[in-house]
Amino acid sequence: MSDVKPYQPIDCNFYDRLEAWSVKREVVNIKLFDSDEIVTGLIKDLYIKEKVEYLILDIGTEVRLDKIKSVNGIPLENGCGLNG
């Protein structure tokens, strides 16, 4: 049995920022909710797998988007309103 929480879609504007950082090939510093560590790299791809959004960095790290606390010091806001 899995203890993974259901995916919560991220803010649409924040997703657009992630796409822009990816296209511009800008280095991002990602802080996750469950860690004090900051992951740094280039966003190689944004994709959906089994109805969950992810990004993958050039260093091979895969990040579930709803686990992101902030990117480059910019906090992630609430979702797109898809869940009410």
Model confidence pLDDT, tens digit, residues 51-69: 999 999 999 999 999 999 9
* Residue 8 located in a structural domain: no
Domain count, the chain: 1
pLDDT band at 81 (very low <50, low <70, confident <90, very high): very low
* Residue 66 located in a structural domain: yes
Segments forming the whole domain that contains residue 49: 30-75
- According to the 3-state scheme, what is the secondary structure of 16-77? HHHHHHHHHCCEEEEEECCCCCEEEEEEEEEEEECCEEEEEECCCCEEEHHHEEEECCEECC
pLDDT band at 84 (very low <50, low <70, confident <90, very high): very low
* Residue 82 located in a structural domain: no
pTM: 0.83
* Residue 46 located in a structural domain: yes
